[in-house]
Each structure stands twice: as structure tokens, then as C-alpha cells.
Structure 1
Amino acid sequence: MATKTSSCSFLSLFSSPLTYDQLIDVLNLLKKCGFPQRRWKELGLTLGLHKNTLDAIERNHPGDVFQCLTECLSKWLSRADNVDSKGGATFDSLSDALKFMNENAAADKLGQEKRNAMISGNDIKGTNDVHSTATGNAPVISQLNNHLFSSNLIPKAVHLTVGTTGLCPYDRANKIFSSVLASLECHPNPNSVFSSLITSLQKVGLKNMVSKLMENLKMKGGNVDPNLEQQPSVSEGPLQPVDVTAQSHIPQPTITGSQSSTPTTVIELSSKSEVAANIESLHSCFASLDSDIRDEFEELVEKGKVNLKAVARSAAAYLSIKVSSLKYGDVDELFDSLQPHYDFFSCGGVLKHLANKYLSNVQTELTQYIDSVDKFSESSQLKHVRLAIKEKLSSLPAAASPTTSNQTKPFIIKLNGRWEIMTLKNFKRVLQYYFGQEIADTCTIRDIGIGSVVATLFIRTSLSQSLIDAINNKTNSMSRLGILEVAVDNKVIPIRREDNNNFDISLQQSVKAGYSFEVSMLLQLGADPNSKDERGKSAVEIANEGGHTQIKEILLTAGGEETGEVEWISGSVSLTKPSAGQCQEVISQLTDNHQEINLHHSSPDIVYLLMSLALDIRTIKRISIHNTKIKKDVILLLSHKITNNTSLEELWISDNSINDDGVIALTQSLINNKTIITLYLCNNPDITSTSAQSLAELLLYNRTMSVLYLNGTNIDTDGVLVLMESLRTNDTLRRLVLEDNKHKQTCYSLPYYKTIENRIAFV
């Protein structure tokens, strides 16, 4: 007795590759959608089964269309013959086959079944953390914007807005993820949207965020494609309390590729709840650490191995303060008087100094704790720290809470509001850059205000004047980084005149001056690496002019683009190594007189961008691509536009630009194209006889193409024979161009060569 298909099994029909075990489910689905069983043979051919296979099925089950359909689908699910070249045994392949057969009613019902299953089986939202992570890592936004556009997850208008306007990182990320959520709401296959989102996040290095999203989907009962599963990244969730018995471990940053030769470091940012949990964990660990340090000193004092006055002198010398300012009647009194100089965020100064000089048992514990603080600082945005720090610092005991005294002075930094997306680590790097390692190590954070980011710290009184001198000497630089004003011991020093979020001019100035640290920080703050100065020069071009190689690499890693060459000729335009901006500019300047576009020495992303725009222009008759690798994924993304284009007559892809996978995908797109007359695939050594079968199939169905160039490829004798056979049934291809020294003798020996010789050329 047949059993009812479970909802999970039914959902898997739409989200995973199909297997033989799902034969009954597929049969029931086709029946439910009204597919006419008498067309089983045509369905099999469209799905990639060979005619011989289908003829054998018909002989085994004469007159029994249901058994023939069942056996046909069984072969398909087993991925026999050329099924994989048609997209494999998947729901999408089945749906495409129905549409190709003009069984549109059945295809529509199939799509509705899929939507119903997705709505009932999956909740694939949960992008808030992704939004927050992208906002705090501005270079990731540009990369993610490009990947999502290439995957058709966001429309061209959103891609251009995010990529070319001076929006702040929050607004850029908001536009991206609002668009993705809209796709999730209305897309007929939301699981494919989710899969594409996961792939894009993986490509830009947000692997920890991928794990979170997939775990969220699993918790809500959704189905996760096992191919998307991956090894967890180093940073996962809140910090755990420090294990003093374990070896210190410093996490490695996640690396992702970029246009530059320098890899991009992507920081996996913590969510608001994780930051709060991490602060709680750090506080607990610090209280234990502080107690252990005091206990070990007490033990050493009791045994007469350490003199507290000597410890006080060492601490005073390190802090550049008077010994008389410290109390050292006992260990607790000494450390209480040292408290203004360390807290649970900043213990790498005097505490580390004393531990290294006098202690042995707690050194490992202290080192591990400092590593934990570094890890926390690297992944925690100031806006999240602000929310947690008020409650925690206001409730700390005397052993952990910083206090002001005649030894310390308040040091207040007011920054542009954009700084709230920056990490605590970046804030400390800025302190070190302007004021030195000593202040970065010894200052204690007391508060982070709302609005413009106002950080209140305490510094040693002895450092006040050197701090003021540094500020006066570096006012212009600090202004470029969005520091609005600084107050030392209640003396306010204004820095930046205007509090706005446009850091593009600052970026151009820092690039011109050759300050790589400023450039890195400004990119994190959301400065656009492709913004232009008053001369129309981008930051990358400015770096080139100044010979700033390192800065150029930083800019390219962050999404900056090198400018290529554009040559306008009568009726055509040629682009060599163009940037995305140049492609968009060229498309906007095309007139009805321009019918040809040539692309040289470029990248797959640029191919997709340029062709997706060019294929919408009815006056373009020829597109030529040379010395540019075109991946299968790019062709699949362009498949719909290639199939339905009504103006393009010639497509040239030559000179090491395409391989077998690309050709197979391209031929599927061209089967139903009605306008392309010439397909030029010469000088592509990665094209082998694997492509010959797909090209022969193209010639079987396509009745428009009249010229096919295949010289300079590695198609062997078997592949040529397949192509020759296809010419016997195709009467529209007027010219097939092959390699002279490879194929001429093979063709001459064919018994039917005389009937096709005037349609073959050898070069």
C-alpha cells in the first residue's frame, strides 16, 4: 500500500538533487500537475536521455504509457546518458523541461506546489546579524554587493546605488538586505535564494555568519543543502571563561579572495547579545585573575621572597609616578592603590609588568586572559560595547572598577557617529597610532556615550602634556578619521570642523599623503575607494600617481577598481581590463550607431556585468570576448537573457576564454535562441570532445546558426565524427570551421563527405 509522502520528503523534492528513492513522489507530482503521460518520450529527450534508451523502454512496454513514463523517470533519476549536462535530476530541470515542451499549465502548477512546500517547510529569514556584521566591516559590503548582484539576488538599481553613492555603511547594508528579504518573500524558490545568499557570504569570508544562518534554519525546521555545510570558523559565539589549564590560543582571521593579490581580512563580528555575554565572561575571569594575582603575591610576601615596597617601586617606575602615591601596607592595599591604572579591559600594562617580574603561577592565566580580551576587542563593535559597558562598569567592585584620583586624569574623545560600527580593537589601534603604545595599554575605558561616539578614558597624570602635544601635532590627521574633539583634564581641543559622514575626501587626502593606516581605517568607516577627486581621479589612481604600492593593494582589496582602457571606434567600442564603473559608463554612452562591443583581458564578474547590460540593448549585434575566463556560473546566470535576446547576431568567445563546462552551459542557452548566426569559439584549448556532443545537440535543435568556428581547440577525432554526423540532419549551418592539420583527413575518409564538403572549412 502506498504511504502518504511526508512534508519533509515532499519539501526535499524542491531543495535537493533527486534520487531513485523519490520515483513515486515525482510520478505523483506530475500526475497532480496534469502532465499528459503520452508525451513521456519527448520529456525523456528533453531531460537528457538518449533516443536509443527511450526506444528500448518503448519496446519493453508497448502501448503502456504509464510504465514507459515510470521507466523513463527511473532512468532520469539514475542520471543516465546526458542527464547531468541538462542540469541533473532536480526539480528545476524537470520544470524547465515542461516549459520547453510548452506544457506551461503543468509547469505553473509545479511551481505553485513548490511555493506551498517552501512556505510551509522553511523560515529562512534571520539576516539581522549579517546586516550588523556587514555594517561593521565596510569593505565586505562592496564585495557582498557584487556577489549578490552576480547571483541575481539584488536588482541592478540596488547594486548601482550601493556601489556608486556615498551612503554610510549602515544604509548600504540596509539597502542590500532589504532587497534580499524582498526576494525571499516573493521568489518562487526561496530555498535557492537562501542558498545563493549562503554562497555569497562564504565568498566574502563571513563563514561564522553562514553557520549561524544555517543553524537558525535548522532550528525552525527548514531543510539545509548538505553541500552548503562547512567547517566552523575559529570564532563561534560568545567567549568561554578562560581555561587556565589550556594552552593559549590566538584565533586566526578568516581570509577571502579579492581583486588584489593581498587577501582580505574579514572580522567575524559579535552580535549585541554575544557582546553582553562576552563582557560578563571577561568580568568573571578578571575577578578570578585579580584574586589569583593577589594570592600569589601574598604567598611570596609571607615566605619572604618578595618585598612589597620593592613591588611598589617597580610599579611606580613603570607608571612614571611617585612611590609615595601608592600604599603598600599589605597586598590588597597596594593593588587597590594601583586600581586606577588597570581594569578588566586594560590589564596588559602594569599588571603584566608585575606578573612577568615576580610571579610564575598566574602568568599563563594572565596571558590567556589578555588573548581573550584581544579576541573580544577584534569582534565587538563600539555600539554593542556601549550598551553593555554602562551596566557592567557601574556595578564592578573596587577590585575591578576604575576610579579617578590625583594619579589619573579624564581623557574624553568625541568621534563621528559612524564610529559606533567600528570595533573596540580599531579604537585602540587609533589610540596607539596617535598617542603611542603606552597610552593604548594603560588607559582605562570608563564610558562610551550615545549619539556621536564619546569615549571617556582615564590616563596617567604624567602623560597629560605629551597627549596634548600629540593632538596639536596631528590635528589634520585626526580630523580625517572623524575625531571631532578631544578633552584632556577638562581642556577641550576642537579637531574636525564638520560632523558629516562623507569620508571620501578624507580618503583621497590620506592616499595622496601616503598614510596607509588612515586609509585602512577610513575604508572601515565606509569611505568609497572608487570615489573621485576634483580632477576625476579615483583613490587607486591617486595611489598610482604617488607610487604608493601598499596603499593601492589596500584599496583594491576593499573593492577599489583599476581603470582600464576604453577605445571608441566607428560603430564599436573596445574595453581592456575595464572596471565595473567603466562598463556602466560605456553602456550609458552607447548610441544606436554602436553595434559591437569587444572585451579583452577581463574577469568573470566584469563579463557578467557587461553582458547583462549589453544583452538588453537592441542595437548591439556583436559581442566579442577575448583572453577572459568565462565560468559556467556566469553563463548560467546569463542563460535567460541569451535565450531570449532578439538582436545579437554574432557571439565571439576566443583566446583561452571558455572550457567544456562553459560550452555545455552556453549551448543549452542557445538551443532556443532565434537571432545568433555566428558562434566563434576558436583558440580555446580547453574545449575538448566533451563539448562536441553538446554542440551536436545544439545543431540538432537550433535552426538559426549558420557559422560555427572551432579551430584552435582540442576536439579529437571522435568529437569531429559526432559533429559530422550532426551535419547530416542540420541543413542550416553553412560553415563549420575546423583545424586543418588535425581533422581534414578524418573528414575526407567519411563515405558521406561529398554531401557536406561545401559546408566545412579547414584553417
Structure 2
Amino acid sequence: MTSKEIEQPTKKTVNNYEDMERDLLSMKQQLAEKEKQVQELEMKLQTKQEKEHIHILPTESVDELNKKLETQYALSRRKTMEIEDLKATMEQKDEKMIDTEKELTSLKELSETRLQEIEQLKLKLEDNNSKRLQVPVEETSETIKDESSDDVISSNKDIEMKPDDKSLTVNLQEDGKVEWSQDDVQLTSPSVDQCKEVISKLKEEHTSIILQLSSSDSIQVLIPTVLERGTINQLAIYYSSLLRDDVLSFSSQLSTNKSLIILQLTHGSMSDDGVIALAQSLQYNKTLQSLDLGYNPGITSACAQSLAELLLTNNTLNGLSLHHTNIETDGVMILIESLKTYNTLMILRLDEQHEETCSSLPYYEHIKDRLVFVE
């Protein structure tokens, strides 16, 4: 091979190499431009995402987000259902409240009617008693004599007022007087045997018992039995000094009795010890509506706390009479305080001397309609 033949291929090869370099350079330039375009596109895309707050998440993150959204939706749905149930419950409670208010209004009207009936019965009872037993009582005198009814207690001795405790002591004859009517029985100075006879003859139509000038023995024989029978709705005891033991003798029967509506223990029949025992026995009584303790000079402020506790416990008593007693201002304040929370009692009778003190109380306007001041 000649030198010319060798030289020509070499030259051709060089030319090809130069062409390739040029092509490679051109391609590099084109790649650089493409990379620049890609960078520009990436920057534009990033800017657009930032403006539109678009965050492209991996597939797993999207699935987790969907699960969270489903969970939140379920919780929200559950809360919505709970709210709907609560609204329905509140509506039912509102309806019950309306029914309760109507029932309370009806009960209040009925209670007022019953109180008026009780007052009429008390007046009738007192009127009947005054016709059958004319016994003048003067709190300041030491001796009380019968000046008007010889046929009632003609053989009785004087009724003496002891100055130390202002209670009545009655010197009774062996046998007293018993009077029957269609619906009541009245006993005056009865003996124990007479009380037993009355018990044996009592019928269901005899709903009222009036006991006057009685001894402790007669009281302890008669009262527990008639209360246990559960047919008496009115019991009145006048001019009979009930000691604590006398009250305790029928306290359990009085506590569970379901017939007695009116109880009158007046005209020197009660003192502080008896009232305290009486108040304890009446705390859980469910039927008594009227309790009259008037005209008892032996009642003082010492029993006021027991009466106040009775008002806070008993929920049926709507009339309490404490006029013509020796309860002083401190005792009255204890009783008045209980009226702020005891709404059942509609009438509280007190002596007129306490009216000025009561009217100065800051809550007097809320209770004044329930107070009656007696001369």
C-alpha cells in the first residue's frame, strides 16, 4: 500500500471526528436548552401550586387522609344523632315540666279549697263545743269555774291553773259525760271505763272526737286506740293537760295514721315538752293538714326549733295555729325562717304582737300572704 492510500483514510477519519464533535456540541446545547426549559416549567409549576395551595401527596398519604375524613364524618354523624336525641329528650322534659306545672297549679287550688273546708270544719267544731260546754278560761286567773253549764260538769271541782308552768290541773269526778251524735262523740271528764265503752261503740261514721277536761289515764286509753282504728279525721282536746308521756302514748299511732286531717290541742292542753314530742311524731305523717295549738300559755320559744323541723320534714301540713301562746320573738323568727323553704304551709297564725317584727324582714313580701296575726 502506498503512502497516498494511507493518508487519504486518515484525513477522512479526522473530518468525521470533527463532524461528530460538532454534532455532540449541538446536542449538548439542545440538552442544556431542554434542561433550562424543564427548570422553567418546574418553577412555573411550583409557583402555580403555591398560589393555589395545591399539595401533591403520595398515594399512601391520600389514602390515610381519606380514612381520616371518613372517621371524622362518622364522628360528626354520631354527634349529630346524639344532638338530635338530646333535643328530643329536652322536648319531652319540657312537656313533662308543663304537665308538672299544671299539676302543681291544680294541687294548689285543691289545697286552698281543702284549707277553706278545714277552716269551716274548725269553726263548726268550735261552735258545737261552745254550745255543749260553756267553760270560761282566763289566762291570768288561778281558778277557772264553770258558771254556765251545770248539767255538763255539775259535780266537778274547780280547774286550777298552776302558776309555775301555766298548765291546767283538773280534779275530775269518777264518771263524766259522753254525748253521741250522728258523726261525732264528745267526752267531758270521762273515766277510763267510759273511754273503753266509747271505744267499743265507735263506728265508721263517727269521724270526730271531742275530749274535754280529761285525765292522763283516760287520754292514754282512748287516743292511741281511736288513732289506730284509722276512721277519725278530726280530734279535738280542750282543757286537758297533756304531759310528754301522754303524747308519747299515741305518738307511734299518730305517725302512721292515714285518716286524721284536723288536730286541735288547745286551751291549756299543751306545753313545750308535749309539743316537742308531738312534732317528732308528726314528721312523717302523710294526712294531717291542720294543727291548732292556740290558747296554750305553756308553749314558749323552747319548742320553736322542733316545730320548724316539723315544717321542713312534713309535706302535707298546710295550717298551723300558735296564737295566744308565750312564744317570743326569737321563736317566731325560727318559725318564719322555715317558711322560706317550706312551701306547703299556707297559714301560720301568730299573736298580733309579732306583726311589726315580721313585717321588717327582707323577705316578708314573699311570705306575708301566709301569715295571720291574731289579737
- State the distance in 2 between where 1:707 and 1:578 align: 29
| Selected match of 1:720 from 321, 329, 332 | 332
Aligned residue in 1 for 2:246 = 634
Q: How does 1:491-530 map to 2 (within 5 A)?
A: none
| Selected match of 2:358 from 740, 747, 755 | 747
Aligned residue in 2 for 1:711 = 323
Q: 2:325 aligns to what SS in structure 1?
A: coil
What TM-score do the two structures reach when normalised by structure 2?
Answer: 0.53
Q: Compute the displacement of 1:631 (Å).
A: 0.7
Q: Compute the displacement of 1:592 (Å).
A: 1.8
- State the distance in 2 between where 1:729 and 1:611 align: 33
- State the distance in 2 between where 1:738 and 1:712 align: 8
Q: How does 1:541-552 map to 2 (within 5 A)?
A: none
Q: Compute the displacement of 1:700 (Å).
A: 0.8
Q: How does 1:114-193 map to 2 (within 5 A)?
A: none
Aligned residue in 1 for 2:208 = 596
Aligned residue in 1 for 2:28 = none
Aligned residue in 2 for 1:609 = 221
* Percent identity of equivalent pairs: 48
Q: 2:180 aligns to what SS in structure 1?
A: strand
Q: Compute the displacement of 1:589 (Å).
A: 1.5
Residues 173 and 189 of structure 2 are in contact (CA less than 8 Å); yes or no, is this contact kept in structure 1? no
| Selected match of 2:281 from 652, 655, 669 | 669
- State the distance in 2 between where 1:634 and 1:592 align: 25
Does 1:761 find its partner at 2:351?
Answer: no
Aligned residue in 2 for 1:566 = 178
1:115-160 deviation digits (Å, cap 9, x = unpaired): xxxxxxxxxxxxxxxxxxxxxxxxxxxxxxxxxxxxxxxxxxxxxx
Aligned residue in 2 for 1:149 = none
- State the distance in 1 between where 2:251 and 2:190 align: 23
Q: Compute the displacement of 1:626 (Å).
A: 0.5
Residues 312 and 342 of structure 2 are in contact (CA less than 8 Å); yes or no, is this contact kept in structure 1? yes
Q: Which 4+ stretches in 1 moved above 3 angstroms?
A: none
- State the distance in 2 between where 1:641 and 1:739 align: 31
- State the distance in 2 between where 1:619 and 1:640 align: 16
Aligned residue in 2 for 1:9 = none
- State the distance in 2 between where 1:654 and 1:664 align: 15
Against the structure 1 CA distance between its residues 700 and 591, is the aligned structure 2 distance closer, same or farther, given a 3 Å change threshold? Answer: same
- Aligned-partner residue type, residue 759 of structure 1: R
- State the distance in 2 between where 1:607 and 1:750 align: 41
- State the distance in 1 between where 2:363 and 2:196 align: 50
Q: 1:615 aligns to what SS in structure 2?
A: helix
Q: Compute the displacement of 1:612 (Å).
A: 1.3
Q: 1:578 aligns to what SS in structure 2?
A: coil
Q: Compute the displacement of 1:569 (Å).
A: 2.5
Q: How does 1:325-340 map to 2 (within 5 A)?
A: none
Q: 2:251 aligns to what SS in structure 1?
A: helix
- The answer to which structure has the higher strand fraction is 2
- State the distance in 2 between where 1:561 and 1:661 align: 27
1:508-555 deviation digits (Å, cap 9, x = unpaired): xxxxxxxxxxxxxxxxxxxxxxxxxxxxxxxxxxxx9xxxxxxxxxxx
Does 1:584 find its partner at 2:192?
Answer: no
Could you tell me which runs of 5 or more consecutive residues in structure 2 were left unpaired when the two chains were aligned: 1-154, 156-171
Q: 1:668 aligns to what SS in structure 2?
A: helix
- State the distance in 2 between where 1:604 and 1:613 align: 14
Q: 1:647 aligns to what SS in structure 2?
A: coil
- State the distance in 2 between where 1:569 and 1:677 align: 24
- State the distance in 2 between where 1:658 and 1:574 align: 20
Q: How does 1:354-393 map to 2 (within 5 A)?
A: none
Q: How does 1:384-533 map to 2 (within 5 A)?
A: none
Aligned residue in 2 for 1:653 = 265
Aligned residue in 1 for 2:35 = none
Q: Compute the displacement of 1:637 (Å).
A: 2.5
Q: Compute the displacement of 1:619 (Å).
A: 1.6
- State the distance in 1 between where 2:301 and 2:291 align: 17
1:359-394 deviation digits (Å, cap 9, x = unpaired): xxxxxxxxxxxxxxxxxxxxxxxxxxxxxxxxxxxx
Q: How does 1:175-324 map to 2 (within 5 A)?
A: none
Q: Compute the displacement of 1:725 (Å).
A: 0.3
Q: Compute the displacement of 1:561 (Å).
A: 7.0
- Aligned-partner residue type, residue 761 of structure 1: V
Q: 2:286 aligns to what SS in structure 1?
A: coil
- State the distance in 2 between where 1:637 and 1:734 align: 30
Q: Compute the displacement of 1:570 (Å).
A: 2.9
- State the distance in 2 between where 1:717 and 1:625 align: 27
Q: 2:344 aligns to what SS in structure 1?
A: coil
Q: Compute the displacement of 1:698 (Å).
A: 0.5
- Aligned-partner residue type, residue 566 of structure 1: V
1:670-689 deviation digits (Å, cap 9, x = unpaired): 00111111111000001000
- State the distance in 2 between where 1:638 and 1:675 align: 16
- State the distance in 2 between where 1:691 and 1:569 align: 36
- State the distance in 1 between where 2:173 and 2:195 align: 12
- Aligned-partner residue type, residue 732 of structure 1: T
- Aligned-partner residue type, residue 357 of structure 2: T
| Selected match of 2:349 from 717, 737, 757 | 737
- State the distance in 1 between where 2:193 and 2:264 align: 23
Q: Compute the displacement of 1:593 (Å).
A: 1.5
- State the distance in 1 between where 2:173 and 2:238 align: 20
Q: Compute the displacement of 1:650 (Å).
A: 1.1
Residues 227 and 257 of structure 2 are in contact (CA less than 8 Å); yes or no, is this contact kept in structure 1? yes
1:77-121 deviation digits (Å, cap 9, x = unpaired): xxxxxxxxxxxxxxxxxxxxxxxxxxxxxxxxxxxxxxxxxxxxx
Could you tell me which runs of 5 or more consecutive residues in structure 1 were left unpaired when the two chains were aligned: 1-543, 545-559
Q: 1:687 aligns to what SS in structure 2?
A: strand
Count how many residue pairs are aligned between Structure 1 and Structure 2.
Answer: 204
- Aligned-partner residue type, residue 285 of structure 2: N
1:164-217 deviation digits (Å, cap 9, x = unpaired): xxxxxxxxxxxxxxxxxxxxxxxxxxxxxxxxxxxxxxxxxxxxxxxxxxxxxx
What TM-score do the two structures reach when normalised by structure 1?
Answer: 0.26
- State the distance in 2 between where 1:638 and 1:618 align: 13
- Aligned-partner residue type, residue 753 of structure 1: Y
- State the distance in 2 between where 1:602 and 1:633 align: 15
- State the superposition RMSD in angstroms: 1.5
Aligned residue in 2 for 1:4 = none
